[in-house]
Structure 1
Amino acid sequence: MMIKTVSILALLLSPLPSFAAGASMRLIPFPSLVTQQAARVVGRPRFATITGSYEGKEFSMRLSRTIWMLTGSRDSDVIGVKIDHDGKSMLGDIGSRRVELAFHWTPVRSLVQGTYNGAPIRYNVDFRDVGVVGAYAGKPFRLAFDRQSRKVTGSIDGVKVLLDYNPMSGRLNGNLAGRSLDVTLVNQDLGEFFQYFFVLFP
């Protein structure tokens, strides 16, 4: 027992190892940054949906955050668009409309550009201020959400947009440049929906 006590005492009183200049010391690296795809999934539901009506016809779209696909239907047109975060692209079809888009996403904004239904499209989504601005087939559009009034206002090709949006229920309804829209967003906010705004164009 005496030997063990002396050994422990000697260990406690022994000097700590010094790391003089030039001495090697193994450092534990910090974890690498997560990928954009992982950053957009952590802590979020794996699926989001948008259901209701557009132009008086059934509209249903589902976003999978596991396989990153947009699926559903717009009237009788089937929605099938693959979102590739590594390739930064969205490719697929909405009925006979071909989707060939590239995107650059950050936590505060997203730039989407390419062709939709054979026409050029380009728009910026602001997640912080919740708005989208761009042009499709040479026709400009701009929408912005006001948190106090809970209204989305703006225009598409000079035609006014006036929508009501309830962040709690997810309901988005009103007049989208002469077209009636009444949908409910589940497990996604208005800013994320704006990133896929192309699905509402003819």
Structure 2
Amino acid sequence: MKRTFLFAAALLAAGQARAVELNSMTAADVAGTAIAAEPAAVESGEKASYAVKMGTIRGGMNGSPADVKINKLDWTITGGMNHSPVDVAIDHEARTIKGGANLSPVDLRFEWSKEKVLVEGGANRSPVSYLADWEKGELTGYANNAPLKITFDMKEGQAGENIVELTGYAGRAPVSLSYNKVSGRLTGAMNRAPVDVTLVNCDLYDFLQYFFLFAGRN
């Protein structure tokens, strides 16, 4: 998936401040991505277009049922997982993610480019700071009062390469996941519990940039 944003990010070692310098961009630059500018309104009768703006992640992980909806029209994430409700709103103008999840307030800021997404603030009763680097194939930083590092290869543009393996650690536990880009099924283990969820009208980019939701309760 290509991101069409202009951005420069410098990420210091975990626990230090992170600096992000933004360049100018237009609404056209950022339209249509998981973290992007406000999408165009859906006209009456465009049911198919409406449907693809409603992503879901359903199944089980972290020892809990997961049923989360990512609404890419109103830009909200709602539902339930980790035995708790999820209700957060994404404000693209302010570049914030706020609300509640995992029985904790969520107060985050994000910056982005076609290569990277940086998320910082507080969630899960813990400081949060992580960088998803699509070109490097890494999600690094910290969350849930623990270091975070997950490596992956999206295999973009490689014909027949439909399986993405994710390995690393989060929440002081190993992460070993496998994502099928055709079926949307994500399986494996993290947080010392099995993972078996299906992503519909969303993808691994959504899962990784909103990782604070899936990291589990702190």
Name the structure 2 match of 1:179.
Answer: 193
Count residues in correspondence.
Answer: 171
Amino acid at match of 2:142: A
**Structure 2: runs of 5 or more not aligned:** 1-24, 34-38, 41-48, 156-160
In the TM superposition, residue 110 of structure 1 has moved relative to its aligned partner by 0.6
Partners of 1:169 and 1:128 lie apart in 2 by: 23
Rg larger for? 1
Q: Give percent identity, aligned residues only.
A: 30
Equivalent position to 2:101, from 94, 104, 110: 94
Partners of 2:189 and 2:166 lie apart in 1 by: 10
Equivalent position to 2:31, from 35, 38, 49: 38
Name the structure 2 match of 1:13.
Answer: none
**Structure 1: runs of 5 or more not aligned:** 1-31
Partners of 1:71 and 1:98 lie apart in 2 by: 14
* More off after superposition, 95-104 vs 125-134: 125-134
Partners of 1:36 and 1:65 lie apart in 2 by: 17
Q: TM-score, normalised by structure 1?
A: 0.75
Name the structure 1 match of 2:11.
Answer: none
Partners of 2:190 and 2:83 lie apart in 1 by: 20
Q: TM-score, normalised by structure 2?
A: 0.70
Q: After superposition, what is the alpha-carbon deviation per residue over 1:52-83, rounded to whole angstroms, capped at 9, x for unaligned?
A: 01133210111111110001111541110000
Higher relative contact order (CA 8 A, sep 6+): 2
Equivalent position to 2:213, from 178, 188, 199: 199
Partners of 2:54 and 2:192 lie apart in 1 by: 30
